[in-house]
Amino acid sequence: MKLQGKTILLTGGTDGIGLRLARQLRDKGASLIVTGRTPARIEAARAEGFEVIPADLAGPAGIEAVLAGLGERSIDILVNNAGMGADHDFRIAPPVAEDDERTLWLNLHAPIRLIGALMPTLRARPEAMIVNVTSGLAIAPSAGAPLYCATKAALRSYTQGLRAQLKGTGIHVLEALPPVVDTQMTAAMGGSKLTPEACARQIIAAMEGSKNEANVGMVKFLRAVYSISPALARSIMLRF
């Protein structure tokens, strides 16, 4: 898909992977509408010239805020990028129910709700795209973040089903599967991390190529292992 001239709604576009996506998509000639929930980051993104809709998508009010901010405008591409992880490790401490609910909402319910609400405008465009950002952990889960993995695996399954439903229409469905990326969410994690700039570049290349999946960075290796032996892929990832 040619991105120049396209209007894109990008959730979680004021930080991390989302902000780099916004910058690089704008460099491609696209018009960006991004969402964010932290006042300081919202103001910083606006200072860069981005239109920002303040919305906390970890609850139904955030969906209403996005739709109200969008108004009657049409979009060509919806990028469901916003996400979070809750501490959910019984080996350390009991999970916090409120954090679990926010994670479920932001990572799973919000993308599904936005897709449903915006499907009519996407269908009306000559060509359109839905990009759902999941994770390499949607392929094989880690022991340390089962709730996060479950939400991403559920969104992966939803994306695959949605792609089949929309086959033959003007709406292309892309799933982006990043590895561990150097963002605020992963600040406490050690090990090698992909830069958010590199992650964004690979996702955008998949958008331009109208790919079904963007297996980013080391996720390519995990995907290859899974294709040979799902059990081996799971055993590797469950060590973390």
Q: Is 213 helix (H, G, I), strand (E, B) or coil?
A: strand
d(CA 113, CA 111): 5
Could you tell me the mean pLDDT of each successive run of 10 residues in the chain, 240 residues long?
98 97 98 98 98 98 98 97 94 96 98 98 97 97 95 98 97 96 72 91 98 96 94 90
Catalytic site residue 148?
yes
- The sign one gets for the Cα dihedral 134, 140, 144, 145 is positive
**Structure confidence at residue 192 (pLDDT):** 83
**Structure confidence at residue 190 (pLDDT):** 65
Q: Please tell me which residue in 42, 57, 137, 148 is annotated as part of the active site.
A: 148
Architecture of domain 7-237: 3-Layer(aba) Sandwich (3.40)
With 0-12 CB in 10 A as exposed, 13-18 as middle and 19+ as buried, what is 28? middle
- The sign one gets for the Cα dihedral 231, 233, 238, 239 is positive
**Where do the domains of the chain lie?**
7-237
| Residue whose C-alpha is closest to residue 221's, from 232, 212, 210, 211 | 232
User: From the DSSP assignment, how many helices (H) and strands (E) are in the chain?
Assistant: 9, 7
Q: Which residues of 221-240 are buried (b: 16+ CB within 10 A; e: fewer)?
A: ebbebbeeeeeebeeebeee
What does each C-alpha distance from 143 to 85, 87, 226, 237, 240 come to in angstroms? 13, 12, 17, 8, 6
**Structure confidence at residue 55 (pLDDT):** 98
**Structure confidence at residue 184 (pLDDT):** 76
**Structure confidence at residue 189 (pLDDT):** 67
Pull the structure tokens for residue 41. 């980051």
**Structure confidence at residue 182 (pLDDT):** 75
With 0-12 CB in 10 A as exposed, 13-18 as middle and 19+ as buried, what is 44? middle
The pTM score is 0.94
